[in-house]
């Protein structure tokens, strides 16, 4: 037995707790139970937190319709004026006839309730039925729609549909002078130059000893 081997046997006797076995005792090789230099901690914790938080919040609204909220429908099913609407009477109201609500004999093409002005008496009529205020927003192709029945008894009665923008003058967008009824569509886009444009719509009835004008299903629709 070589010296190295004997030396290991002595260690085994003196230090049995090192867990060495005689069979593993050979020249130049023995397990001393201690960590070797080659036990390099290869825990290359390459936790290269490549958490490239690509959470780039690209919450940009590409729909283009975020601020296009112009969508109005007034079916006039109840007798109350819609919020913000008003009636103006410029004819002295000699017979007590102004714009009023009814729910019988709806000849507009709509159903149930409607608003109308009765001019079938010998008086000059100049009565206005005016909407609340609306804002264009980021909308285009803005369409004013309504059902109506304009009943004519001569050439001196008129139904004017008018628009007021940003408190300016009233401008006529449609005129009725002959009897007609049913659905009407008027493109009012060109009257509204900017998203901030605020506007109102007015139905103005002019007549003398004529018949009447009925309005139903007022709506404003638009596309972004």
Segment 9-33, tens digit of pLDDT: 334 444 444 444 444 434 444 454 5
Secondary structure E strands in the chain:
72-74, 86-89, 100-102, 114-118, 124-130, 134-135, 140-151, 158-165, 170-176, 180-187, 198-208, 212-223
What CATH fold (topology level) applies to the domain 72-223? Jelly Rolls (2.60.120)
Provide the whole-model pTM: 0.69
Which pair of tokens denotes residue 132? 């609340």
Residue span(s) of the chain under CATH 2.60.120.200 come to 72-223
- Helix, strand, or coil here: 17? helix
* Max Cα-Cα span within the chain: 143
Q: Is the pLDDT of residue 96 over 80?
A: no
Q: Which residues contact 32 (CB under 8 A, 6 or more apart)?
A: 18, 20
Regarding beta strands 86-89 and 124-130, do their DSSP bridges make them parallel or antiparallel, or are they unpaired?
Answer: antiparallel
More confident residue, 218 or 60: 218
More confident residue, 77 or 51: 77
């Amino acid at each position: 037995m070589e010296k190295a081997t004997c030396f290991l046997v002595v260690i085994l006797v003196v230090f049995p707790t090192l867990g060495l076995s005689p069979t593993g005792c050979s020249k130049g090789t023995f397990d001393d139970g201690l960590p070797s230099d080659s036990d390099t901690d290869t825990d290359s914790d390459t936790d290269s937190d490549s958490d490239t938080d690509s959470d780039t919040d690209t919450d940009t609204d590409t729909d283009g319709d975020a601020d296009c909220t112009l969508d109005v429908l007034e079916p006039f099913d109840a007798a109350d004026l819609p919020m913000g609407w008003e009636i103006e009477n410029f004819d002295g109201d000699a017979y007590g006839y102004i714009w009023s609500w009814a729910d019988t004999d709806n000849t507009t093409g709509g159903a149930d309730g409607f608003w109308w002005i009765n001019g079938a008496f010998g008086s000059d009529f100049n009565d206005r039925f005016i909407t609340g205020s609306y804002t264009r927003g980021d909308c285009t192709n803005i369409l004013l729609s309504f059902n109506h029945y304009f009943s004519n008894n001569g050439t001196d009665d008129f139904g004017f549909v008018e628009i007021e923008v940003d408190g300016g003058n009233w401008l006529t967008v449609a005129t009725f002078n002959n009897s007609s009824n049913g659905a009407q569509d008027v493109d009012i886009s060109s009257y509204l130059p900017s998203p901030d444009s605020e506007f109102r719509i007015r139905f103005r009835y002019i007549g003398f000893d004529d018949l009447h004008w009925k309005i139903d299903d007022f709506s404003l629709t638009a596309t972004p």
